[in-house]
Each structure stands twice: as C-alpha cells, then as structure tokens.
A = this chain, B = another copy of it.
C-alpha cells in the first residue's frame, strides 16, 4: 500500500469540481507492479464513474493489479452499472478505499461485494482528506439539505458596505478571484433581495471552463425587476427566486416565469427561515450553496446555526463609520465568551487582504 497513489487519486478527483454536483468528486488510480496503468475521475453529473475510466485505461493490465479509489465503489445500478462489479470482472487483486459511502442505504455494500469475490480490501486510506473533498455531498446525502458556505468581504472594522450601500471594492482582485473559484465549486449562490437591488450583481462564475452556479434569490415580496442582471441575463435559465406563495399567479410572477425563464420556489407567508429555505433547496437536489449576503441573510443563517463553513475576506481598509453596514447584526451578546466562535480556522493570504476560512457545524 502506498499513500502516494491515493494522493494521486485525490488530485485527479478535484478535476470534477463544479461539474458533478450533486454527485461526489471521485478519483481512481490502477497500479500494477509499481507502475500506474490507469487513472480516472468522475467528470460530469450522471456520467461514468472514476473507476470505469481508470479500469478501461488499464485494460488487460488490471489483472492482478491494485486500485486506489477515493470513495467506496458503488454496488447498485443507478445512472450507471455498479463499479464494484466492474472491479471484480477486471481481475483487480487489491482495492484501497478512502471514504465510505455516506448513504446509509448502501454504505459498506460495495466493499462487502468486493470481499465476497476474494478481493483484498483496505479501507480508511487518507480517509480525512478523502472525506474533506466531499464535505458538501456527505452533508447533503445524510441531511437532505445543502451544505451552506458563507462568503463575504469586510473592512477591518467588519463592514460590508458604506452608509450609502457602496461596496466596490472592499477586497482586492486576488481575493475576488477566489470568489469566482467558489462560485464554480458550489451548486448555487444565494443572496437576499436587498443585495440584488443594491448591487445588481451578475452572480456568474467568471473562471476558465467554469460552470455558472444556480442563482438563488430570496425575495419574499417579489421586489425584483426585469432590469436586473439576474433577470435580463437569465439566458442559462439558472435564476431561482424564493418568494411567498401569495405571489403565485400575479402578473409579475407570470412575466418572470414565462418571458424570462425564472424558476420559483414558494413558501408560506413572508418571513422565511433559512431552515425552510434549505429544506426546499434540498428537495430541488441542490447539494451546496454559497451564501453571499447581505447582512440580513447572513445574520439569520448564523442565528439558526445553519452555516457549515465559509471564508471571510478582510481587506486593508477601515470605514470608521458606525452607520456603515455590518456583515452581521441582531445578536445581543453580553459577554465576549458568548460570541460565535469559528473553528478549524485557516488563514489564506491574498496580498494585502486575508481570508479567514472556517467551519461551524459538524458535517
């Protein structure tokens, strides 16, 4: 057993980033007598699995070889035939597995099938690293709601906009490039209607070979207008508006639906909890959401303890104005020890800006 082959499998798994949701990222490497004879990764949602590509590339060399796979091979017929079956038929002798399938209905069954067919199986190889690349997928499979990742750019004094709503630009270009990476990585971006009306963002992934995320707008009173980029530029039909069911069938609703291809998710009343929103997004098979603002949405998500992780970009600027807009408010924290505490912090350097990458919920 050699960890370097699992590292290789992990590295190629990441090539599927942004293209496979809500499927997991998976990489596989076939090794015969110390030589890599096949490599593969899951590259498109519903397409062939990593093992298929790796075994096809290996061909006859797979006989008596080892396979390293970042996620337990599947044992059931889904969109594709079971990979465990393909491994058995290929003549593989030993199988090294990173993560176990998180779906309780099938977890461990792929490994069982391999063992029953006299394949030597080793589990837990670089398990933590393998689990890490599919945090969102694992949460979605287990809890049926999307992984929620916060992105916001703040001044050193914690503001996301000036008193007039100006926010261009708090963070520098290098930090903003990282945002494009996240927009490609997560299946949807979510913002409140306030942010849309104030900033008129495009919410696209401006990255080479990037996939645009779903644009999820929380707009209970249907305040959007057709001049906004997310409506008028909805060529890819990826804008989703979450609104009150009271708006269904109004002239505006119908115009947006029929003329601009907007999709709707409706909820009762006008005050939506983040928990209700995530449940509906989960039903719509959205496994991961990047929350980009504004203050109200972020504060709600924190107070409902529904943020899984995030990155807060801190710039080199100080607003110094108590009328500026904070990234979070609404808490009545009497003591410092009652603060929200971030964990597993990693600091990412972007020149004169710093990114605080963190986790909150256990996944």
Identify the A interface with B (CB < 8 A).
Answer: 154-159, 161-164, 166-170, 299, 302-303, 312, 314, 316-324, 326-336, 338-343, 345, 347, 349, 352, 354, 356, 358
Contacts A320-B302, A320-B328 given: A162-B347 contact, CB under 8 Å? no
Contacts A330-B320, A347-B349, A354-B347 given: A335-B158 contact, CB under 8 Å? no
Contact B156 A336 (CB under 8 A): no
What is the CA–CA distance of A184 and B4 in the complex, to the nearest angstrom?
Answer: 48
Residues of chain B within 8 A of A167, CB atoms compared: 336
Residues of chain B within 8 A of A354, CB atoms compared: 347, 354, 356
Residue from B164, B170, B316, B321 within 8 A of A342 (CB atoms): B316
Residues of chain B within 8 A of A336, CB atoms compared: 155, 161-162, 166-170, 317, 319
Residue from B312, B327, B332 within 8 A of A321 (CB atoms): B332
Interface of chain A: mostly helix, strand, loop or mixed = loop
7 additional contacts, CB 8 Å, given A156-B356, A163-B333, A163-B334?
Answer: A156-B342, A157-B158, A166-B335, A319-B336, A320-B329, A321-B331, A347-B347
Contact A322 B316 (CB under 8 A): no
- The copy count of this chain in the complex is 2
Contact A342 B356 (CB under 8 A): no
Contacts A156-B312, A157-B326, A333-B163 given: A339-B356 contact, CB under 8 Å? no
What are 5 of the A-B contact pairs (CB < 8 Å)?
A: A157-B326, A166-B334, A316-B358, A317-B339, A320-B333
Residues of chain B within 8 A of A330, CB atoms compared: 320-322
Contact A319 B339 (CB under 8 A): yes
What is the CA–CA distance of A162 and B339 in the complex, to the nearest angstrom?
Answer: 9
Contacts A162-B335, A333-B162, A334-B162 given: A342-B318 contact, CB under 8 Å? yes
Contact B341 A332 (CB under 8 A): no
Pairs of residues from A and B, 7 with the lowest C-beta to C-beta distance, nearest first:
A158-B158, A320-B331, A157-B158, A317-B339, A318-B340, A320-B328, A321-B333
Contact B319 A331 (CB under 8 A): yes
Residue from B156, B164, B326, B329 within 8 A of A335 (CB atoms): B164
